[in-house]
Amino acid sequence: MTAPRGRGRRPGGVDTRAAIISAARGQFAAKGYDKASIRGIAREAGVDPALVHHYFAGKAQLFAETMEVSLDPVAIVGRVFAGDPARLGWRVVETFLLVWDAPERRQTLAALLRSSMTSDEGARVLREFLSREVFGRIAAATGVPDPELRGSLAGAQMLGLAVMRYILKVPALVDVPPEVIVERLGPVLQAHLVDTPATEG
């Protein structure tokens, strides 16, 4: 969950790539997906636009990679699966709050989320990112039937929490300590991602 933050301006290599992503994060957050441009991101990173195109196929891929660096889904999923399977749901909520509550990340993630919802292409990138990188991966690894549906409903609970706690700032969710949310949502995530309850109705 520690994002690479190299700031070098050498015309190639890990530092340049990191500098482009860092600039992209700022531009997407400030302008929204539609209004951010490869040219503006290149200027912000102090590199030639051609170099941005050398590393990234286009704006959509750059946005996806920006989210990946900001969220680090591999670390998240690793953390969620380390430990007792009977407490997996609780670790999902705990990890989610750990990532979002970090002051240096909160504004960026809220801005990326907002940014992606106001444009169809941004929505597509976020949709594919969430399905592929986070919730689908978790649900598939737990071996439940309907992993995509189950993972998406779990995602809906957490995405709704993010919107209400960090964007709408609903007091009941802002003022509450993370561990209270973990205790209340842990069983919900466990039910979505792991348990197979008897169906009713």
**Would you say 47 and 16 are in contact if contact means Cβ atoms under 8 Å apart?**
yes
- For position 73 contacting a copy of itself by CB under 8 A, the verdict is no
The stretch near a copy of itself (CB under 8 A) out of 33-41, 46-54, 77-85, 182-190 is 182-190
Q: Pattern 140-169, binding to a copy of itself, x per CB under 8 A?
A: --------xxxxxx-xxxxxxx-xxx-xxx
Smallest gap from residue 164 Cβ to a copy of itself (A): 5
- For position 173 contacting a copy of itself by CB under 8 A, the verdict is yes
Other beta carbons within 10 angstroms of residue 43's beta carbon come to 14
- Helices 178-193/147-162 angle, 10° precision: 160
- For position 14 contacting a copy of itself by CB under 8 A, the verdict is no
- Helices 14-31/103-117 angle, 10° precision: 60
**Would you say 190 and 90 are in contact if contact means Cβ atoms under 8 Å apart?**
yes
Residues 91-130 touching a copy of itself, rule: CB under 8 A, are 114, 116-118, 123, 126-127, 130
| Sites of contact with a copy of itself (CB under 8 A) | 32, 90, 114, 116-118, 123, 126-127, 130-131, 148-153, 155-161, 163-165, 167-173, 176, 180-188, 191-192, 197, 199-201
